[in-house]
Structure 1
Amino acid sequence: MARIYLASSWRNPHQPWMVDLLRQNGHQVYDFRNPPNSTGFGWKDIALAPPFTAAEYRHALLTHPRAAQGFNADFSAMRWADTGVLLLPCGRSAHLELGWMAGAGKRTIILTQDGEEPELMALLADQICISPDEVIEALRQ
């Protein structure tokens, strides 16, 4: 059984389904949409809505307690996990998360699908899977 940090996007409709699938296969999974002892972080939580300046973004990120709480919840889960799974499509934060996990020596898996933009640095991941079944099989190994 793996402790999995599932890195993805709020906009990815497959994220809740993938959390459930991994759990049904006996894994512990951190769900950033529903973290323990908290609620999932969204930019609306700190009243940062486009258009905003770079200075406004930086100020909100560095000073808003909700940004700190959201970051700490996710980063604690990244440290807790022994495996990172990147579920595409996703944004920059999820890629930073998986990159940190790769650098920390944790097992990393990317789940891609037809139509995704190719990414050379995906070679940092231990495995690149093209179906949820491949992810489940990779986690068994």
Structure 2
Amino acid sequence: MAKIYAASSWRNPHQPWLVEMLRNAGHAVYDFRNPFNGVPGFAWSEIDPNWQAWSAARYRELLTTSPIAARGFVSDLRAMQWADTCVLILPCGRSAHLEAGWFCGQGKRCIILTQDGEEPELMALLATEICISPDEVLAALRAGI
């Protein structure tokens, strides 16, 4: 059984059922939408409903001073430290890619789940495995790559 950090995006409609699939296969999975600690998953709109109109200076200020941002960061970072595997579920945004990069830098297993239509990324070669279906992800986990 792997301890999995499922890195993806709130906008990815496949993330919830993929988390469930991994759990049904016997893995422990951190779901950023529903963290273990019972605290709701982080969303910028918790800080400010008008977050998309922020200037770069406002973004930096709130990222570094907001207790809501701090709570979300600590929750996700602790889960990353707990996990032995990252499954990067594409498509996703910059944060998920930073999380996957952190796993690669830590020497932890990183599996990318991609599909037709995703833009190729050269640095995906840092990942332990690049899978093109959920079945391939499960097979890679069983193989203990």
TM-score scaled by structure 1? 0.99
The SS at the match of 1:84 is strand
5+ long unaligned stretches in structure 1: none
How far off is 1:50 after superposition?
2.1
For residue 99 of structure 1, what is the aligned residue in structure 2? 101
39-48 or 68-77, which deviates more: 39-48
Whole-angstrom distance in 2 between the partners of 1:64 and 1:129: 37
> What CA distance in whole angstroms lies between the structure 1 residues aligned with 2:26 and 2:54?
43
d(CA) in 2 for partners of 1:70 and 1:6?
A: 15
The aligned counterpart of 1:130 is: 132
Q: Report the counterpart of residue 44 of structure 2 in structure 1.
A: 43
In the aligned structure 2, how far is the partner of 1:13 from the partner of 1:7? 13
Give, in whole Å, the separation in 2 of the partners of 1:21 and 1:62: 35
- Tell which deviates more after alignment, 50-59 or 129-138: 50-59
Normalization by structure 2: what TM-score?
0.96
Q: CA RMSD in A?
A: 0.6
Aligned residue for 2:52, secondary structure, equals: coil
Q: In structure 1, which of residues 61, 66, 69 is the aligned counterpart of residue 68 of structure 2?
A: 66
Question: Following TM superposition, by how much is the alpha carbon of 1:36 offset from its aligned partner in structure 2, in angstroms?
Answer: 1.8
**How far did residue 57 of structure 1 move?**
0.2
Q: Secondary structure, in 3 states, of the residue corresponding to 2:45?
A: helix
Gaps of 5+ in 2: none
1:1-141 matched pairs, under 5 angstroms = 1-37=1-37, 38-47=39-48, 49-141=51-143
Identity %: 68
SS at match of 1:5: strand
- Match of 1:40, as an amino acid? G
Which stretch has the larger CA shift, 114-123 or 41-50?
41-50
What is the CA-CA distance between 1:52 and the residue it aligns to? 1.1
Q: Distance in 2 between matches of 1:5 and 1:32?
A: 8
